[in-house]
Structure 1
Amino acid sequence: MPNAARISVVIPVKDDDTELARCLRALARQTVPADEVIVVDNGSTDASADVARAFGARLVRCEAPGIPAASAAGYDAAEGDLILRLDADCVPDESWTAAMAVAFAARRGVAAFTGAARFIDGPALLRTPLATLYLGTYAAVMIPTLGHLPLFGSNMGLRRAAWLGIRSSVHLDAELHDDMDLAFHLGERGRIRHLSGARMGISMRPFAPGQAFGRRAARGLRTVLVHFPHDFPPVRWTRRLLRGVRRRVAGRRYDTRPSPGLDTRSHR
């Protein structure tokens, strides 16, 4: 990929050494290797740090508790033009980084891409329906709330420039969902689009006994409410509508034309 943007992959982790090793093996098989893989150790007591070093990843330590702080530490440390994000228990397809890189090159006006996922463990008969329920419910709730697509932290990418533009606004509260909070802020400044070609396998752990699925839902509600009243849906929709009108009048700020020679028919 000539003149390709530099790619950083960020993986926040806490006590997931076995899953992290599986994830890093999958990243090592990418058809377009990342320029750097950053593992953010959020206070692990297992061998996660040793696993990261063994695979040649760049290890960043984050003492502040919670995924929001760990993810932000990884984005801050990233040196690439594109920052791709997944979790330690994720298994990306071999074309994941390539799909992200091509999409960003083809759509210069897009600030972030988000993809779906499939479950790779748990009862085989439940994998597809539970994945559809899990991600479908998330989208059904968050699209009306945000006025645009949400981000899915297990499969997403954003431009480093976009991150730097919102860095001072994101919340680092451990009881919030970092991807949901990021979508609130990023959607105010740029476009978020779905990328079907970025295929990702994830664990069914959210549905496992003792994983406190209700707590995850409570965190989601808290993430939404922390943005009120500024982002109360009708207020946010109106603000976005007016901003879109101003952009059309003033002309597009970013060049959204596809790059020459790139087939963008599969990207939305």
Structure 2
Amino acid sequence: MRMKNVVSVVVPCYNEQRCLADCLQSIARQSVKALEVIVVDNNSTDNSVEIAKKFGAIVVNEKKQGIFYARNRGFNAAKGKIIARIDADSVADVDWIKSITETMRDRNLVAIGGISYTYELRWLLPLAIAVHAIFNRFHEKRLYGLTVLYGFNMAVRKNVWKNLEQQLDENCINEDIDFSMQVQKHGKVLRSSRMIVGNRLAGIMNPIKLIRYWKADGESAKRIKKELGS
């Protein structure tokens, strides 16, 4: 039986011409097709928009700079019952959408995250996934067990997003952690080992991003501890 297309894929984009085609190609090759692919142009000055249109993606514009605003613009434009997000420099496994659709058949789930690997090490996939799994365990332990739904590989129900959007803090240093904290107030979340994407080494090892995430983790840990009352 053919699986129904219910997933809208959202790709925030700012000057991603070097890697956007690989991302969109991986979505085009899915074993279960997306209902739609939405690329959110966040003031790109390169050829990102032209590349997105070449792949038949819906291009929407967000003039307010920042991933928080680009994500929200894309999620609000989505028509699917499930909204999946992937970063422009990531590559989805061929069964990525299939795994999202099947996992979200559990009506108790409001959102899910997946696992990742370093794309350049895809020839050694088990090791690449293991490295990221170790990072995830360390990260979540630092955040008092919070299941973090990373923006490069996550999905949320559209009806949940409608209620969630107003609860998100545009001034939060790390929008992924804020999203994860708030969405878990709406119901069950989990990380699926079947939902796999590859992340490029350049993005993972970017020193500016690493410093930003480390700072954000410290602030987020304080916030979580306060909410837990400990």
Would you call these one fold, judging by a TM-score over 0.5? yes
Q: 1:141: which partner in 2? A: 142
Q: Which residues in structure 2 correspond to 1:137-216 (within 5 Å)?
A: 137-142=138-143, 144=144, 146=146, 149-173=147-171, 176-208=173-205, 210-216=207-213
Contact 2:115 2:133 in 1 (8 A): no
Contact 2:90 2:200 in 1 (8 A): yes
Q: 2:66: which partner in 1? A: 66
- 1:140 is displaced (CA, Å) by 1.9
Residues 141-163 of structure 1 deviation map (CA, whole Å, 9 limit, x = unaligned): 23x164xx221211111100110
Contact 1:206 1:213 in 2 (8 A): no
Given the alignment of the two structures, is residue 55 of structure 1 paired with residue 55 of structure 2, yes or no? yes
Residues 152-181 of structure 1 deviation map (CA, whole Å, 9 limit, x = unaligned): 2111111001101111111223x6222211
Q: Which residues in structure 2 correspond to 1:5-16 (within 5 Å)?
A: 6-16=6-16
Q: Which residues in structure 2 correspond to 1:1-268 (within 5 Å)?
A: 4=4, 6-105=6-105, 107-121=106-120, 127=128, 130-142=131-143, 144=144, 146=146, 149-173=147-171, 176-208=173-205, 210-223=207-220, 227=223, 232-235=226-229
Contact 2:114 2:154 in 1 (8 A): yes
Greater share of strand residues, 1 or 2?
Answer: 2
SS at match of 1:179: helix
1:93/1:150 CA distance change after superposition, 3 Å: same
Q: Which moved more, 1:124-133 or 1:51-60?
A: 124-133
Contact 1:81 1:161 in 2 (8 A): yes
Contact 1:171 1:181 in 2 (8 A): yes
- 1:136 is displaced (CA, Å) by 2.7
> In angstroms, what is the RMSD of aligned CA positions?
2.5
Contact 2:110 2:157 in 1 (8 A): yes
- 1:203 is displaced (CA, Å) by 1.2
1:171/1:213 CA distance change after superposition, 3 Å: same
1:50/1:166 CA distance change after superposition, 3 Å: same
Contact 2:116 2:129 in 1 (8 A): no
1:192/1:53 CA distance change after superposition, 3 Å: same
- 1:222 is displaced (CA, Å) by 3.9
Amino acid at match of 2:61: R
1:123/1:101 CA distance change after superposition, 3 Å: closer
Q: Distance in 1 between matches of 2:215 and 2:158?
A: 30
Q: Distance in 1 between matches of 2:70 and 2:221?
A: 20
1:187/1:33 CA distance change after superposition, 3 Å: same
TM-score, normalised relative to structure 1:
0.77
Q: Distance in 2 between matches of 1:220 and 1:5?
A: 36
Aligned length: 228
Q: Distance in 1 between matches of 2:23 and 2:206?
A: 23
Q: Distance in 1 between matches of 2:5 and 2:129?
A: 34
Residues 83-111 of structure 1 deviation map (CA, whole Å, 9 limit, x = unaligned): 00110011111100001001112x11100
Contact 1:16 1:48 in 2 (8 A): yes
- 1:186 is displaced (CA, Å) by 0.6
- 1:235 is displaced (CA, Å) by 3.3
Any stretches of 5+ residues in structure 1 without a counterpart?
Answer: 237-268
1:210/1:151 CA distance change after superposition, 3 Å: closer
1:44/1:29 CA distance change after superposition, 3 Å: same
Contact 1:145 1:233 in 2 (8 A): no
Q: Distance in 1 between matches of 2:218 and 2:72?
A: 21
